[in-house]
Amino acid sequence: MATKRKLSVLWNHFVEDETGKRAKCNYCLQYISISSGSVGNLGRHIKNKHPAIIVSVERQSIGETGGQNLENIASSSNLKPTQVTNSEIDKQVIKMISKGHHALRIVEEPEFKKLINMVSHCPGYQLPTRTTLTNNFLTNSYNELRNKLKVKIETTRAVCLTTDSWTSRTNENYIAITAHYIDEQTNLCSSLIECKKYNHTHTGENLCKVLKETMAEWNISYKIVAVVSDNASNILAAVRLGGWRSIGCFAHSLNLVVQKATKEISDVLVKVKAIVEFFKRSCQALQSLQDTQNRMGLPSLKLKQDVPTRLNSTFDMLDRILKLKDAIITTIALLRSDLSLDQLDWQIIEEVIPILKPFYEVSAEISSEKNVTLSKVIVFNKLLQGFLAKTSPVHVKVIALRDVLKQQMNKRFCEIENNVLFAECTVLDPRFKKLGFKNEQAFEIAVQGLRNKVGHVTIPDPAKSPLADVTNTASADANISNSSIWDDYDDIIITKTTPENKLATGIREVDKYLSEDYLNRKTNPLEWWEERKLIYPHIYAYLLKRFCIVATSVPCERIFSGTGQIINERRTLLKSKNVEKLIFLNHNL
């Protein structure tokens, strides 16, 4: 009997003890009885406790036995593990990469490493078919994750949305909607809640309908505090029709400011673009440039192109060509002297780079979705305008560029401190508070508004409030003293405390918070608030409606920057419904 048992594929997952009457599971270390000589208990244990493993056993068994039950399979299987060497596995990895056109970096991908590690602990595992993977596992994983996210988002107090659209290689239009919210541990979360093929024209009315349908499906219609977009007219129209608050993407606005200003040096940009395009088109020229860099001991860098729709691309192009200045001058002189930049061109580039660099740094930082960003917009506006006021360029074209930057910044952001969303978020960020403002009056107006709003906030869970003990005590006293003799007195207390007491609560919490020391700007403000949410329960409940608002639409745009890898030349036959599921899993897993 022991020999018979040992031939079962189930023994890849168990170890028999010395008595021969029990087997220990390799995963949970639980002992299972096998005293009857049958391994049926082992199969049932795998099926009930480790369902992910039973799939591999069943798949392997079906092919060998034509669908017998697990116990019979366990008793009759003659499969023996095959021994392979590390060298053979290495060769197979290379073969898989080369024949499957995979990137060499696949061996460094965390999920691939996890897969290999799991397979090494499950010798009986066999890969599912493409049909099983698509129809079963992909759909099940998608539904499971979607349901989990719904439960998670339903517990949130407020949600901010970002949206973007994209056209695939197969000329199919997709629209994505991302939700941003603060979870119960005070973490800023970003979840893709919708990504689907969209065949209608992208009018404001149609986009508004999609947004409303998505909100209803996720039960967040009453939680929306703002919709952030890239300032496209159709999205702005959709937000206006829906009656939601609109936030323009700060990174895109900065990019428009820079694009407007760099028109003052358009002649230099045209020359630089011509040089970059020359090296991009000619392999021999590019190799010559790289050889020159090596001979001069310069870092091996590649030129970058200016793409108007890509943030910071103008700065990237100028910054890179300046770093390769000596190599460019030498190589161009030998290959295409007509493309050479003169001394004045180089001087302009050298002057422009320091002026554009702060815009580059701000745009890069504000595009991060892992921390609170809306509170930084007022601060960055103040810092950038202060920086421009101190710059003293020499060349007339650079002076003109600097002046346009000033004009555009003032035009686009002159009222930013009076915007209630930006102002309140800045005040509630312990890194900035009053110091974040350029206009002290705007700060005072925001604080006064917060005092009133915070006092009227309803705390979702009174048990978490420091006032809970007082409330509970009052309730107990009320139960003891139900005599009508107290009715008149209670009525007086209610009339005296209802509105005034709420305002007093707001004033007390807000003023106490403002008196706290400033937080280091590199510290996460959400962690600070998590530690103090019981000290300032009303402020905390209110800031959940502000800190969830992101300053840019970049998080949603990143979804489609990775989607191109999902729908590449080898995978253009993917059905749109599977594309939607893969994008959803890619972003949310």
Strand-pair partners of 23: 16, 32
Query: Tokens 């006021």 map to which residue?
Result: 389
pLDDT digits (tens, 9 = 90+) for 10-55: 787 888 888 888 888 887 778 888 876 777 788 888 877 776 664 4
Q: Tell me the average pLDDT across 347-361.
A: 95
User: What is the per-residue pLDDT for 22?
Assistant: 86
Give the list of residues 6+ apart from residue 170 with CB closer than 8 angstroms, or none.
Answer: 567, 572
Distance CA 501, CA 430 (A): 25
pTM score, two decimals? 0.76
- Rounding to the nearest 10 degrees, give the CA dihedral for residues 220, 225, 228, 234: 70
DSSP calls for 281-303: H-HHHHHHHHHHHHHHT------
Ranges 20-29, 278-287, 308-317, 365-374, most confident: 278-287
Q: Give yes or no for residue 537 having a pLDDT over 60.
A: yes
Q: Which two tokens stand for residue 364?
A: 């890069």
In the chain, what is the straight-line distance between the N-terminal and C-terminal CA atoms, in Å?
A: 45
CA 219 from centre of chain = 21
Angle, CA 146 vertex, CA 141 and CA 152 arms, to 5°: 130
Ranges 382-396, 452-466, 550-564, most confident: 382-396
Alpha helices in 180-304 (DSSP H): 204-217, 233-242, 250-262, 266-281, 283-296
Say which amino acid occupies 66.
G
Beta strands 224-229 and 246-248: pairing type? parallel
Lowest-confidence region among 149-163, 202-216, 295-309, 425-439: 295-309
> Where are the domains positioned within the chain?
2-76, 86-127, 135-249+553-588, 254-414, 422-543
Distances (CA, A) of 128 to 61, 101, 145, 540: 13, 21, 21, 48
Sheet holding 224-229, edge to edge: 188-197, 173-182, 159-167, 224-229, 246-248
Phi-psi domain of 368 (left: phi exceeds 0; alpha: psi -120 through 50; beta: other): beta
Helices and strands: H and E segment counts in the chain: 26, 8
Query: Tokens 């006293």 map to which residue?
Result: 477
Contact criterion met (CB below 8 Å) for 583 and 195: yes
Query: Tokens 């795998």 map to which residue?
Result: 46
Q: Give yes or no for residue 132 having a pLDDT over 60.
A: yes
Distance CA 219, CA 216 (A): 5
Distance CA 171, CA 261 (A): 35
Contact criterion met (CB below 8 Å) for 569 and 101: no
Distance CA 158, CA 183 (A): 10
CATH of segment(s) 135-249+553-588: 3.30.420
pLDDT more than 90, % of the chain: 49
Query: Tokens 């800031």 map to which residue?
Result: 543
Q: What are the b/e assignments for 392-411, b being 16+ CB within 10 Å? A: ebeeebbeebbebbbebbee
Q: Give yes or no for residue 86 having a pLDDT over 50.
A: yes
pLDDT digits (tens, 9 = 90+) for 307-340: 877 778 899 999 999 999 999 999 999 999 899 9
User: What is the per-residue pLDDT for 493?
Assistant: 54
pLDDT band at 231 (very low <50, low <70, confident <90, very high): confident
